[in-house]
Amino acid sequence: MIAFVLLPVPGTSGFDYLVPEGMEVEPGFWVEVPFGKRVLLGVVQEIRDLPEYPGKPKPILRVHGPALPPRLFPLFSLVSEEACTALGMALAHIVPKPAARRHSAPFLPFRYTEEPKHVELTEEQKAAAAAICEGIGKGEKFLLFGPPASGKTEVYLASAQEAIHQGYAALLLEPEISLLPQLWARAARALGKAPAVYHGELSPGERFHVWSSALRGEISCAVGTRSAAFLPFPHVGLMVLDEEGEPGYKEERSPHYHARKVLEERAKEGAALVLGAAAPAVETFFRAEQGEIRLLSLTQRVSGSPPEVKAAQKEPEEVIGAELREAIARHLQAGGQILLFLNRLGFFTGASCRTCGEILRCPDCEVALVFHLAEKTFRCSACGKDFPDPACRRCGGTRFRLFGAGTERVEYEAKKLFPQARVARLDEETAKERDRILSALAKGEIDILVGAQMVGKGLDFPGITLVGVIDADQLLASPTFYAAERAFQLLLSAMGRAGRGEKPGEVVVQTHMPDHYAISSALRGDYLAFYQEEIKFRKLLRYPPFSRLLRILVSGKRAEVQAGKMAEMLREKGLEVLGPARLHPLRGEPRFQVLLRGDSSLPRRVRALFPKLPQNVRVEPDPLWLG
């Protein structure tokens, strides 16, 4: 017999190997095979009587057991085709390889415990849960839409209980690892059994253990991040994507899948799919309006009361303006905790030469350097290279005017203004301390937490009574047409952290653009007002949901020539091409982008034109960032 094996080799479809006599091999099994002078691990896709290609096939060396059920091959094929990558490469990236398990306890970024309590659903929650439960086994798709603290999680858990009662598995996803401990604790309380945990920071052995347990049907419920969308449950009845509009659900490395699309494909097996959000993706809400997804609304908060929200201005040289300073002092005096949100890292976010005015940039990436006070160095946010003693590229000057503010500077200013307060910072630079910081916040051992987007969404700490948004305007400066949507989502989510306990909440948003529709709608907590303005803009410029985008990223010394030739060929084939456009180089390597606009068939058309791409060319369907 011949096994057709998918290998992690770019630009290949698979290879024939001989199944030695007495060896038991089935489609979906891991196998070790010789490949040139190497031994590779691959997945058997098919068993045949005869080889497809001439020549004598080499024998399989070893079998490692099941990797995935054959019914999931179409899903992985779709993912690989849309990203124009080999199926074997997609499997190698997503499916955990056999590895020994070292720890038995689920890995969570911090410990979170809840007192046992009886939760009584409101009438709105009961109606939403009943509708979802009715869709189990029918493959129905729902958008559960409600403001922060409206009780979406309890609807998820009530639906999960019913799915498990009917003999199905339930899958609950969050966009960030930091949101898993609370979901895990609440699921354990509601279901009477701790769910499995699956995310990218698990050890290889733990990932393989959870994956294999799901494959064998030994798990009834799992919580996780985007990679958990592929967990191979034999019978999944409920799949939940909480905060479904968050960009964390999009894989930024090839094969560039989006967890929402993966779960929509899996829903065809019969599972009910719930997309939950206070601020859904514009595309998702549009589809709900069109009737493709059933809209379920929660209109009332079930914990705390809506915070008092106001816009405030600050002087150009200030980081924390007068109104926010006064609010912080007041809440500290009352014993509340404070969250200060800014979606920028570092101390000073830019520097210009005092002699000629040239902006200080990374010589390899052309990205403006950020000053970090703790290390006393300038750093490139693209390649990570440090420049402790930089010089101006134009005139050689070594004196610079520093400007802008990142989270490190906000932390510094908060400590200077409120020396009696216990101040901590949680962002990408301090992420290794995430467990300790969030545990301390939960215990009330932190008075002021400064953070970037990882603290601005989803976390539920009743002690937080004040949220201060340091600079709402910079959220609108992202190089993507999604900038307004992302600004609204981040603002609404950050504001939703205030007043979730017994004490009243307050939100102060520092902005010089309070009339911009994304900011003004967020200040009022009015998603529909934001959506009505944003959908006009999308329709006028034919951006999603009125089209589909695909990005081709070409890197290397010949990137400009390659991108130009590809763009010319695509235009000749009748595709709408934007570009090529020059991007900032990365680590000295030139990069060019070709953006395509079309309908839902766009990825398949591009794959047909470029069945094999060189390794310096990457295809990303539905890009969230265009820079």
What lies within 8 Å, CB to CB, of 145 at 6+ separation is 276, 277, 278, 280, 285, 288, 295, 296, 297, 298, 527
Are 335 and 461 found together in one domain?
yes
Domain carrying residue 501: 308-346+405-539
Judge whether 322 lies within some domain.
yes
- Same domain for 413 and 278? no
The answer to whether 104 and 194 are in contact (CB under 8 A) is no
Of 6, 9, 203, 29, nearest in space to 99 by CA:
203
Task: Please indicate, yes or no, whether residues 522 and 558 belong to a single structural domain of this protein.
Answer: no
Report percent pLDDT > 70 for the chain.
Answer: 97
Tens digit of pLDDT for each residue in 119-140? 899 999 999 999 999 999 999 9
Residues 387-401: tens digit of each pLDDT: 999 999 999 999 999
Indicate whether 373 belongs to any domain.
no
Q: Give the residues across from 47 on adjacent strands.
A: 3
- CA distances 384 to 348, 479, 588, Å, are 16, 20, 13
Q: How confident is the model at residue 154 (pLDDT cuts 50, 70, 90)?
A: very high
Which residues, at least 6 apart from 205, have a Cβ–Cβ distance to it below 8 Å? 99, 100, 101, 102, 103
CATH number of the domain enclosing 60 = 3.40.1440.60
Q: Which two tokens stand for residue 543?
A: 């951006």
* pLDDT at position 304 over 80: no
Q: Is residue 108 part of a domain?
A: no
588 confidence band (pLDDT: 50, 70, 90): confident
Q: What is the CATH number of the domain that holds 525?
A: 3.40.50.300
> Do residue 61 and residue 88 come from a single domain?
yes
Q: CA Rg, the chain, in Å?
A: 26
Residues 253 and 276 occupy one common structural domain: yes
Residue 54, pLDDT > 90, answer: no
Q: According to the per-residue pLDDT averaged within each range, which of 39-53, 229-243, 475-489 is highest?
A: 229-243
Of the pLDDT bands very low, low, confident and very high (cuts 50, 70, 90), residue 209 is very high
**CB–CB of 207/174 below 8 Å?**
no
Asked whether residue 438 is assigned to any structural domain, the reply reads: yes
Mean pLDDT of 265-288: 96
Average pLDDT for 168-181: 93
Q: Residue 524: pLDDT above 90? A: yes
Amino acid 438: pLDDT = 84
Average pLDDT on 506-524 reads 95
Q: Which of 539, 557, 572 is the last residue of a domain?
A: 539
End-to-end CA distance of the chain: 50
Average confidence (pLDDT) over 369-379? 93
Mean pLDDT of the chain: 92
pLDDT-derived band at 482 (thresholds 50, 70, 90) equals very high
The verdict on residue 371 lying in a domain is no
Same domain, 457 and 498: yes
Whether 221 is in a domain gets the answer: yes
Residue 454 has pLDDT above 70, yes or no: no
Residues 580 and 602 in one domain: yes
**Total domain count for the chain?**
4
Q: Are 461 and 490 found together in one domain?
A: yes
> Could you tell me if 170 and 88 lie in one domain?
no
Same domain? For 144 and 237 the reply is: yes
Residues 6+ apart with CB under 8 A from 378: 351, 360, 369, 370, 371, 372, 386, 387, 388, 390
The reply to whether 275 and 244 lie within a common domain is yes
486 in the same domain as 447: yes
Long-range contacts of 229-233 (CB under 8 A, 24+ apart): 229/171, 229/173, 229/257, 229/259, 229/262, 229/263, 229/266, 230/72, 230/75, 230/94, 230/95, 230/262, 231/171, 231/198, 232/68, 232/69, 232/72, 233/169, 233/171
369: DSSP letter: P
Is 484 part of a structural domain of the chain?
A: yes
Tens of pLDDT, residue by residue over 237-261, are 999 999 999 999 999 888 999 999 9
Please determine, for residue 627, whether its predicted confidence score (pLDDT) is greater than 80: no
Chain centroid offset of residue 417 CA: 34
The pLDDT, as a whole number, for residue 459 is 67
Q: Could you tell me if 461 and 446 are in contact, meaning their C-beta atoms sit under 8 angstroms apart?
A: no
Cα of 208 vs its chain's centroid, Å: 22
**CATH number of the CATH domain containing 574:** 3.30.70.600
Domain boundary among 94, 111, 140: 94
Out of 297, 331, 358, a domain closes at 297
Check whether 457 has a pLDDT greater than 90: no
| β strands within 440-540, DSSP E | 448-451, 464-469, 506-510
Does 422 reside within a domain? yes
Task: State residue 455's pLDDT score.
Answer: 67
Q: What are phi and psi of 592, to 5 degrees?
A: -130, 150
